[in-house]
Structure 1
């Protein structure tokens, strides 16, 4: 069977393809093949004879005037050609195997193939010749509302044509590629509103297409420093697309900062000022990246945009100054210190300052810039006790060691935590010209080994520091103690006042009982009374004594009750005095009641049982005398002890005096309350 005539052929890898309509497609080998091939189309298989062809490599794909649109792809791991015919909805997928004779053909409708494309059946394609096909091929499926696109891959890293144009800085090519997308969308859509939406979607998809490194065309252009291409791509990018990161974790802004493209940095910041606050891997900021590369102009621009980022450090604690100092970028160091001189004292997780990092490098000017900013940082140790001199000695930076020794704040015999001086470290270095020169410099400035070192001044300083620390601890403890004592004293005052109130209330009850007994004794006199109410023993001496002492007990008890009812107590000292008065009155009432009781025994018992009255008198007298004598002894002794203590305290002007003043109470508040 001969190939059809009157149709437009498509050439691809030794195949010639004729698309007749939606149901008929003819495929045959080119002139270099002598054998026919087969056509597989639904249930029909036909043999096709060889057809001559005079195509050249440049004619493998149709021109723009060709009625078919085609692109080259990999389908099921085979290089293929997809051709779509919008007028009929038919499509051709022509594929070839690895050998020239291994040829196959799969024919599907455009919608079916594009459905496979969405499911991931179509993989990356091999590069196509320049100018061979548009970057994006559109196709209409049976559902007219769904617009599909197929990416044409051209680079070995899955770069699109747009990636390659952006890498070259070819602005006309970038505009042509984006213009082709707009033109193809316009040919597929008739409605204006739908056209705008689809165009924006398709252009955004093309601009934000990534290669195998996760890089968009914007990231590629920013890396290469093509300002005009970046400006063109930004017209089709929103904030989300601008901040898209590659697989290394860097966005276009971060890439431009690392490469030092100041104009691109300014352009990106004008579109999104928050880009300066973004973070890359390990919490790295754009400022840190610029400092590590030594891009001074970019550093100044970032600091002018957002000064607070100068304090942000990586996860290891190193900030922008650490990296600039370590890599010897003196201008970057000066730019950072001009903004924040205190940055020189910032430490990383190891306790190292920027001077420690500079001591590991070879740039003397960085050392000078850091020391000029803050001379005291020369003696700042890291967590292992290493100063910059120790670090420079360990790294065998002979000239930096010599420079540090010239500084007046350098302590040549400073000890590390493992008790080693810089000279000890120099002796442990392998024998070389640098190590010998370092030891010579250290010896010239009085460096000693740790075991030979006599440091009375350091020991004195350490002792003074320990004393200060101890005194501070004692003062703090005293303050806390005074605070606790004040709280305890307050609670004791409360308890003491409650105790006094309870005591006075009890005394009042006892006084009322005494008054009741004394009052009742007048009307029930001992010995009885005559019919006219006169006491039988009215003329006896014992009765007269009974009457007098009973009256004293009655009126004394009533006086106590009157005092308790009348007086209002507010202070502890006043309460103490009231209790002293009441106690004296109650002692008097008790003595009088005792005497009245003893005399009444003589009246009641008479002369017949006089011995019993005498016995009762002896018992009562001994008990009362013993109680009164004991109480008198303890009261006198207590007063004498208090006088001695007051005399001793008045002769001292120490913490005990201040303790009395700070606690705001005295011993007199808690003196035992006795009455004579």
Structure 2
């Protein structure tokens, strides 16, 4: 009997796993347990003297939380012990510098929620005389870079970090030299040399392949504009000039021609770019977005023009036109599936709200 009653329960668990509900439940349960553990830990910390923090491993736990981006833990621990904000890790860095070195944007954004934005956190240096801007100039950890697709977008993210830190530090930090005699700008250029070369190669590969497609569409659509379906009358005008399908064909052909021409020009702009550091921040990603969008429009309108021409040639035989028109949607769908994730990521990274929360509410 117990085995018989447990069988339906196992089947229900399998169904929940298949639907993804079990995974969501487990994540929520782990979060509840973690929150309760943090609450008890903070309560215990509040009863200790500052001298005992090191003995119980609090400093190590705090630095690990910064390294792994555990925001809730940082906030609760600082509320109980504000001095943790000024404790140093093994490299002599306070939590704000460490968040930059490990590229933890959520931890870094906590700075914007500090009352008065504690200036002491901005002027400190580590054991190697590196400032916060030096930390931003170092290459991001490989685990953080791996989250971003494409070397060009990785270079863009590094520039976004550097510009963000640059906007809050003292202007004199830009010319401050560390123990190796390097300014933050020099360190950034040196440490990102290989990534920049990889980003240039990635951009040129995408632009080259897309230019070939765009050029083929230009050739086809330009030719189609002068070889209209159905031919011309003796007067020189198209036979189906007054048909709605012919009007759709001409408009779609023109849009496809203009869109593909714009796309090719954008990709040519990428191929002939200087590829300086600043180009990766806005210029190159925007050209890539415009190029991919116009290329998609050209492919979609080319299929529309094809379907309109087919309807004219087949004299409205829908039993042929409809199935072929449905097949014409396959290339458009494939383009969306293959390129839309990249297009979306580039667009959000370039024109989105950004990874930093400058409007964070005061938390301490």
- Please indicate the TM-score interval, normalised by the length of the shorter structure: 0.3 to 0.5
Per chain length, whose mean CA-contact separation is higher, i.e. which structure has more relative contact order (CA < 8 Å, sep 6+)? Answer: 2
> Which has a greater percent of helix?
2
> Which has a greater percent of strand?
1
